[in-house]
């Protein structure tokens, strides 16, 4: 099965088979909504509504070379889950990111990412080869977490979209995003230069790396953070940063200068 164009029906059949076997292994029963989702190549999991045994089965299932194309892990508003649950699912996702030929979109929503769990998760991001979209909305990253994520994404050219909406990102986090933009720009500049030396026309649209970063609802970023990002964008031909309000105007105005 090609990682670029997987046969969705075959993938769905494989995932549901993995799921049933994992449930047998962990002495739990398949749940209809998960079976239905997996048959379509997707998985949406609310950590506030799954017991630890079934979580073990699901984590075991998606730690294969063939995983869902799209995984959405979230915690319902006003609900809390234990550290053990978050740690376990991030362990599973880390293995999935490093092994999967098929996972292209990973969304975490309202899942607290910090400490050891975040360290483990970032190792998976760094080893990912096929992930295209990474969304960490409302994941309480703060500046330290954003710095870790950006540092581990620097040399992951497969990721084209990064969402950090409502992540408590402030000035230092914005500087980390700016450094990520600059690093990937240098990587692409180097690739273009190599093409020129080989007397080939650089294919700008085919360059790998980030194309879109979304930073809405991070009011602590303030003008200083926006200026750092805008400065990084002045020489970048590829990345579009999406923010809101006055910060957006500042970014757009600064990036249009020169």
Instruction: Give pLDDT, residue 150.
Output: 96
Instruction: Give pLDDT, residue 258.
Output: 42
Q: How confident is the model at residue 205 (pLDDT cuts 50, 70, 90)?
A: low
Burial category of 51 from C-beta neighbours within 10 Å (exposed 0-12, middle 13-18, buried 19 and up): exposed
Instruction: Give pLDDT, residue 25.
Output: 95
How far apart (Å, rounded) are the C-alpha atoms in residues 49 and 193?
Answer: 51
DSSP 13-70: HHHHHHHHHHHHHTT----HHHHHHHHTTEEEEEGGG--HHHHHHHHHHTSSSS--SE
Average pLDDT over residues 39-54: 95
Average pLDDT over residues 67-73: 96
Instruction: Give pLDDT, residue 43.
Output: 97
Average pLDDT over residues 131-159: 95
Q: How many alpha carbons fall within 13 Å on the CB side of residue 175?
A: 6
Higher pLDDT, 187 or 116: 116
> How many residues are present in the chain?
258
Range from 22-26, 228-232, 250-254 that averages highest in pLDDT:
22-26
Residue 228 has pLDDT above 70, yes or no: yes
Instruction: Give pLDDT, residue 246.
Output: 43
Angle, vertex CA 238, rays to CA 234 and CA 244, nearest 5:
70
Average pLDDT over residues 126-152: 95
The answer to whether 212 and 240 have CB atoms below 8 angstroms apart is: yes
pTM: 0.88
* Helix (H) or strand (E) run with residue 134 in it: strand 133-137
Question: Average pLDDT of the chain?
Answer: 86
Instruction: Give pLDDT, residue 255.
Output: 45
Q: What is the gyration radius of the CA atoms in the chain, in angstroms?
A: 20
Q: Which stretches within the chain are classed as H helix?
A: 8-25, 32-39, 52-61, 83-99, 115-127, 142-153, 171-197, 222-233, 245-256
What would the pLDDT profile of 171-194 be if each residue is shown by its tens digit? Answer: 999 999 999 999 888 877 766 656
How far apart (Å, rounded) are the C-alpha atoms in residues 180 and 171?
Answer: 14
CA distances from 190 to 8, 157, 197 (A): 36, 13, 11
Residue 202 has pLDDT above 60, yes or no: no
Q: How confident is the model at residue 222 (pLDDT cuts 50, 70, 90)?
A: confident
Q: Looking at the domain that runs over 132-258, which CATH code has it been given?
A: 3.80.10.10
Instruction: Give pLDDT, residue 256.
Output: 44
Instruction: Give pLDDT, residue 129.
Output: 86
Higher pLDDT, 204 or 189: 189
Domain ranges in the chain are 1-120, 132-258
Instruction: Give pLDDT, residue 236.
Output: 75
Instruction: Give pLDDT, residue 15.
Output: 96
């Amino acid at each position: 099965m090609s990682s670029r164009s997987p046969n969705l029906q075959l993938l769905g059949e494989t995932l549901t088979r993995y799921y049933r076997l994992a449930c047998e292994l962990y002495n739990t029963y398949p749940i209809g909504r998960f079976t239905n989702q997996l048959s379509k190549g997707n998985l949406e999991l609310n950590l506030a509504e799954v017991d630890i045994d079934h979580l073990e089965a699901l984590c075991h299932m998606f730690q294969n070379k063939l995983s869902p194309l799209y995984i959405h892990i979230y915690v319902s508003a006003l609900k809390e889950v234990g550290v053990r649950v978050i740690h376990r699912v991030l362990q599973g996702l880390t293995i999935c990111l490093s092994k999967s030929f098929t996972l292209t979109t990973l969304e975490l929503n309202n899942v607290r990412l910090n400490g050891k769990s975040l360290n483990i998760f970032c190792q998976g991001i760094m080893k990912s080869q096929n992930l295209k979209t990474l969304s960490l909305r409302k994941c309480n990253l703060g500046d330290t977490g954003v710095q870790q994520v950006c540092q581990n994404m620097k040399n992951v050219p497969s990721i084209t979209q990064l969402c950090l909406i409502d992540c408590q990102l402030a000035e230092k986090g914005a500087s980390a995003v700016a450094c990520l933009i600059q690093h990937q720009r240098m990587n692409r500049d180097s690739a273009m230069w190599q093409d020129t030396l080989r007397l080939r026309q650089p294919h700008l649209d085919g360059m790998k790396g980030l194309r879109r970063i979304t930073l809405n609802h991070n009011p602590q970023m303030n003008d200083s953070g926006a200026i750092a990002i805008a400065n990084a964008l002045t020489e970048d031909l590829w990345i579009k940063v999406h923010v809101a309000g006055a910060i957006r105007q500042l970014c757009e105005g600064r990036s249009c200068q020169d």
